Amino acid sequence: MVLPVVHVTQKLTSQYFANGVRKVVIKEVKLYLSKVLVTGWSGYLGWPTTIRLLKLGHEVMGIDNNLRENLVSMSSSESATPIDDEKTRKKFANKLGKFEYRRVEMTNYYDLHQTIESFEPDYIIHLAAQPSAPYSMINNFSAYSVTQENNNRSTINLLWIMKGMKKKPVLIFASTMGVYGQPEYSIPFDGMMANNGKLEYPIPYMAGSFYHISKTVDEQNIIFATKQWGLKSVIFRQGVVFGLWTNDTELMESMTRFDFDTYFGTALNRFVAQAVIGQKMTLYGKGKQTRGFVTLEHCIQDLVSIIDRNNMQNLNPNQPEEGKPMIRNSVTDCFGLDKLVEAVMKVIPEAEFTHIENPRKEKEENDLVMEESPRPLDLQKEISYLYSALVPFREKIRKYYR
Ligand SMILES: NC(=O)c1ccc[n+]([C@@H]2O[C@H](COP(=O)([O-])OP(=O)(O)OC[C@H]3O[C@@H](n4cnc5c(N)ncnc54)[C@H](O)[C@@H]3O)[C@@H](O)[C@H]2O)c1
């Protein structure tokens, strides 16, 4: 049996008696299952992940450099949802568990090294990246300096820091199903043996943007370093994440960011935001491209399931072994974009759509087949939840589209 990783902190107080005898009293004892470093904690996925981890009893350190916030405001937009500042979020998080954050620029090796060494995480959930494909396609600066250099340097810094650590953490790397492109084969559950087992990994990757290429390079660096140095890593390939709801009602008190602009608004999120203000939903090309989608709740569940309490009983099948990179998909179901637009119109009958030229060179129509079965999803219910969550922020969304 493998014992759980448990960290204990104690708060002690002293009482002195008249005769000078000192009595030490234990005021509070806390057990933390694991210490988790969340990179990119203040982003769309980072904040809900932090909340879930704290509620499960893990200790969390979040790092971020505010890149997302800056890029969105440089694109003349802002999150539709109000975002608490770091201090307010910290206060909120500390009601749920032990949480600390630092402003760290991950491309700065020394700052990152110092932070990781002082925290000694058991797990690193690496979400920090420039995550927008359209943003990476604006010009040479957005493609390289802001996307590839930022993403690749951050990840390679992490790998070298992990190599030098005595107690090596498990790396969970947020990748994307976009690395599959529009494959002719069905995507296997563990992402490993495509083409009836003829390929060890479903490569060559078929990335469709400079952003997606940054993820394929990160993946290859992780796979190489894991094998070379005996690290433990999980490559977590997510579909397009949508929605604002998770099972943690706390997230409605301190909301995560929600972007809807051309660069940072992902497909279904952007459609619903457009419908909320009566703007036509913009469908690229014929809209027959199929992509994997995952609800915010499923994505968080999948991420934390790699760490969750099951590992106390050694029941967690998601635990990677040294030197053996593990690949996991995170997807609720696959949809053609036109099907999403139809679903929005069922919920919001006055919603309309228009076709615009597809900025990506890709097949106009494709099927995407996953070997794992889709998870139960009431798409219309999800859309109407999202719609009602966004209605109070209508004016902010309208301002951007004006
Ligand atoms: N949201 C999706 O639909 C989706 C789908 C597939 C994969 N992903 C991946 O999941 C991860 C999280 O996505 P998200 O939607 O939450 O993005 P996000 O932009 O909201 O979060 C990423 C966070 O990382 C921070 N960051 C970026 N570069 C940094 C650096 N050099 N140092 C420190 N912090 C830095 C940003 O400020 C941001 O807060 C990303 O890696 C993304 O590529 C997201």
H/E segment holding residue 388: helix 379-390
Would you state the structure tokens that stand for residue 295, as one six-digit string? 């609800």
**Is a pLDDT exceeding 50 seen at residue 290?**
yes
Q: Counting atoms of ligand 1 from 1, which one is nearest the CA of 240?
A: 3
| Residue 35 vs residues 22, 47, 118, 122, 182: alpha-carbon distances, Å | 33, 16, 12, 5, 37
Predicted confidence at residue 201, as pLDDT, reads 59
- Average pLDDT along the chain: 89
Report the distance separating Cα 119 and Cα 124, nearest Å. Answer: 11
Would you state the structure tokens that stand for residue 364, as one six-digit string? 């106009």
Closest by Cα among 45, 368, 325 to 190: 325
Identify whether the C-beta of residue 60 lies closer than 8 Å to the C-beta of residue 99: yes
Q: How far is the CA of 177 from the centre of ligand 1 (A)?
A: 15
**Residue 190 CA neighbour count, 13 Å, CB half:** 15
Residue with CA at minimum distance from ligand 1 atom 18:
43
pTM for this predicted structure: 0.91
Predicted confidence at residue 278, as pLDDT, reads 94
Predicted confidence at residue 10, as pLDDT, reads 63
Report the distance separating Cα 45 and Cα 173, nearest Å. Answer: 13
Predicted confidence at residue 25, as pLDDT, reads 73
Residue with CA at minimum distance from ligand 1 atom 44:
131
Name, in order, each residue with C-beta under 8 angstroms of 240's C-beta and a sequence gap of 6 or more: 177, 266, 267, 268, 291, 292, 293, 294
**Is a pLDDT exceeding 80 seen at residue 200?**
no
Residue 44: pLDDT band (50, 70, 90) is very high
Closest by Cα among 133, 228, 131, 236 to 177: 236
Q: Counting atoms of ligand 1 from 1, which one is nearest the CA of 66?
A: 37
Q: Counting atoms of ligand 1 from 1, which one is nearest the CA of 67?
A: 37
Residue with CA at minimum distance from ligand 1 atom 23:
40
Predicted confidence at residue 9, as pLDDT, reads 61
User: What would the pLDDT profile of 303-342 be if each residue is shown by its tens digit?
Assistant: 999 998 655 555 677 788 999 999 899 999 999 999 999 9
Identify whether the C-beta of residue 304 lies closer than 8 Å to the C-beta of residue 36: no
**Is a pLDDT exceeding 80 seen at residue 286?**
yes
71, 85, 127: residue to mutate for ligand 1 pocket, most atoms within 8 A of CB: 127
Q: How far is the CA of 395 from the centre of ligand 1 (A)?
A: 26
E-strand stretches of 280-368: 281-284, 290-295, 326-330, 333-336, 353-356
* 373-384 average pLDDT score: 92
Predicted confidence at residue 2, as pLDDT, reads 40
Cα dihedral value 125, 130, 131, 137, nearest 10 = -160
Residue 194: pLDDT band (50, 70, 90) is low
Burial class (CB in 10 A: 0-12, 13-18, 19+), 182: middle
**Is a pLDDT exceeding 60 seen at residue 202?**
no
Would you state the structure tokens that stand for residue 116, as one six-digit string? 């990781």
Amino acid identity of residue 119, one-letter, is F
Tell which wins on pLDDT, 308 or 149.
149
37, 45, 86: residue to mutate for ligand 1 pocket, most atoms within 8 A of CB: 45
**Is a pLDDT exceeding 90 seen at residue 224?**
yes
Burial class (CB in 10 A: 0-12, 13-18, 19+), 20: exposed
User: What would the pLDDT profile of 347-372 be if each residue is shown by its tens digit?
Assistant: 999 999 998 877 777 777 777 888 87
Q: Counting atoms of ligand 1 from 1, which one is nearest the CA of 242?
A: 3
CA 234 to chain centre: 13
Closest by Cα among 309, 274, 294 to 44: 294
The β-bridge relationship of strands 22-32 and 7-16 is antiparallel
Predicted confidence at residue 109, as pLDDT, reads 98
DSSP annotation of 177 reads G
Identify whether the C-beta of residue 284 lies closer than 8 Å to the C-beta of residue 357: yes
H/E segment holding residue 125: strand 123-126
Listing DSSP states for 254-293 in one string gives: SPPP---STTT--HHHHHHHHHHTTPPEEEETTSB-EEEE
Residue with CA at minimum distance from ligand 1 atom 5:
240
Instruction: Write out residues with Cβ below 6 Å of ligand 1.
Output: 40, 42-46, 63-68, 104-107, 127-131, 150, 154, 174, 176, 238, 240-241, 266
Closest by Cα among 36, 41, 39 to 53: 36
**Is a pLDDT exceeding 70 seen at residue 135?**
yes
Report the distance separating Cα 256 and Cα 249, nearest Å. Answer: 12
Q: Counting atoms of ligand 1 from 1, which one is nearest the CA of 266?
A: 3
Q: How far is the CA of 64 from the centre of ligand 1 (A)?
A: 9
**Is a pLDDT exceeding 90 seen at residue 1?**
no
Residue 3: pLDDT band (50, 70, 90) is very low
Q: How far is the CA of 127 from the centre of ligand 1 (A)?
A: 5
Q: Is 138 helix (H, G, I), strand (E, B) or coil?
A: coil
* 46-75 average pLDDT score: 97
Predicted confidence at residue 297, as pLDDT, reads 96
Question: What is the set of active-site residues?
Answer: 176, 211, 215
Residue 288: pLDDT band (50, 70, 90) is confident
Predicted confidence at residue 146, as pLDDT, reads 98
DSSP annotation of 174 reads E
Residue with CA at minimum distance from ligand 1 atom 2:
241
Report the distance separating Cα 258 and Cα 242, nearest Å. Answer: 10
| Residue 329 vs residues 4, 237, 345, 374: alpha-carbon distances, Å | 26, 5, 29, 12
